[in-house]
Structure 1
Amino acid sequence: MARIWGRTGCNFDGNGNGNCQTGGCGKLVCDPGNWGTIPKTLFEYALAQPNNPTDTIDISLIEGFNIPISFTPTSNSGALDGKCRTISCTADINGQCPQNWKVPGGCNSPCTTQGIGSCGASGDSTFYKQRCPDAYSFPEDDQSSTFACPSGTNYRLTFCP
């Protein structure tokens, strides 16, 4: 599985070192395994996995939210019983963020403020699920938040649609 996220408020020196307000990893090009700081809106995907004829895609808010995002299949849309479709999180989450989760440039989640093990389908996680029903708002939210397209599908990822 791979992850893509947007960074905001970044400032880098001539050597590519620096900081970002959200999603930063300390460098212009993040080192492998450095998943950036929270909060961040994540796009996660697994393409053309062995013995699997589908690509698996999702948007995750488990690590919070910093920017709106959408992901669109540009081929094969509607395939796999409608699970191959545009998914997005475009709500004004930063503007609606509960005060106790607000941070500069973003919004933490109950999973980042209370710990991954203490966030779930009820309670505070519903804040994100109500605003972005396509996105993961807690671990194990697979049924309503994991999407699939046939391997070989072309995609367009848009930050701040």
Structure 2
Amino acid sequence: MANPSLPFTLLLITLCAHFIAIEGATFEIRNQCSFTVWAAASPGGGRRLDPGQSWPIDVPTGTTMARIWGRTNCNFDSGSSGSCETGDCNGLLECQGWGKPPRTLAEYALKDLDFYDISLIEGFNLPMVFTPTAGNGDLCRALTCNADINGQCPTQLQVPGGCQGPCTVFQTDQYCCPGPAAQTCGPTDYSQFFKDRCPDAYSYPKDDASAGKFACPSGTNYRVTFCP
């Protein structure tokens, strides 16, 4: 005789599996600058944020190689097409892809643990704090990059609105650390410029020793703040 409760049991199992699959984190992206910032997120898209505004995005567990950044001095038409001085994303308000340097990057991956960092490898355009909204300890804490890097940027790295990373400018193994070169890749005068001002952040591709990825328990929520 068929068990009448079986379909209901299967439904509960399906629903539970569904909610487990979509469990992840909420990222609140907040603009505390005195000017408009056009936030970008991959995944997530993009949003204009006037001073004091914020934008929440929900990201499922299993998302990797994700990033959030701010775009500056943007102009978009009624069709949401245009351009930005820094952080431009293929001329689209709703960002698709990883965007264009220079930009201060908040990077993360949501796995069994959430790994997150601030990266200046592709340069800097806005001060940033990337923080878990709960949690504490050496590996689950706020990461800060709040220095005047644009105002102090080395001449060779200066561009309107930002400070480029040396790999973007010079495109050499010394700064980009590709393939076999990664084995001997080390800090440079340019990476030290970024590290001195933002010790929490990645300053070159192999900067794991001093800026290794921080981690929080899965299910933690986060806030990315421009101009903290």
TM over 0.5: yes
Residue by residue over 1:105-132, the C-alpha shift from the partner in whole angstroms, topping out at 9 and shown as x without a partner, is: 0001212112263224132210001100
Q: Which residue of 1 aligns with 2:95?
A: 30
Q: Which residue of 2 aligns with 1:63?
A: 122
User: Size of the alignment, in residue pairs?
Assistant: 152
> Which of the pair is proportionally richer in strand?
2
Structure 1 runs not aligned, ≥5 long = none
Q: Which residue of 2 aligns with 1:101?
A: 157
Q: Which residue of 2 aligns with 1:133?
A: 199
Matched ranges for 1:9-158 at <5 A: 9-25=73-89, 26-31=91-96, 34-47=97-110, 49=111, 52=112, 54-78=113-137, 82-115=138-171, 117-119=173-175, 120-145=186-211, 146-158=213-225
Quote the Cα distance in structure 2 between the aligned partners of 1:44 and 1:116: 24
Quote the Cα distance in structure 2 between the aligned partners of 1:129 and 1:3: 20
User: Is this contact kept in 2: 1:116–1:139, CA < 8 A?
Assistant: no
**How does the TM-score come out when normalised to structure 1?**
0.90
- CA displacement at 1:134 relative to structure 2: 0.5
Q: Identity over aligned residues, as a percent?
A: 61
Structure 2 runs not aligned, ≥5 long = 1-64, 176-185
Relative CO higher for 1 or 2, CA cutoff 8 Å, sep ≥ 6? Answer: 1
User: Is this contact kept in 2: 1:136–1:142, CA < 8 A?
Assistant: yes
> Which of the pair is proportionally richer in helix?
2
- CA displacement at 1:99 relative to structure 2: 1.3
**How does the TM-score come out when normalised to structure 2?**
0.64
- CA displacement at 1:20 relative to structure 2: 0.2
Quote the Cα distance in structure 1 between the aligned partners of 2:120 and 2:127: 11
Quote the Cα distance in structure 2 between the aligned partners of 1:112 and 1:130: 20
Letter matched to residue 94 of structure 2: V
Quote the Cα distance in structure 2 between the aligned partners of 1:41 and 1:117: 22
Quote the Cα distance in structure 1 between the aligned partners of 2:226 and 2:69: 9
Letter matched to residue 165 of structure 2: S
SS state of the match for residue 125, structure 1? helix
SS state of the match for residue 85, structure 2? coil
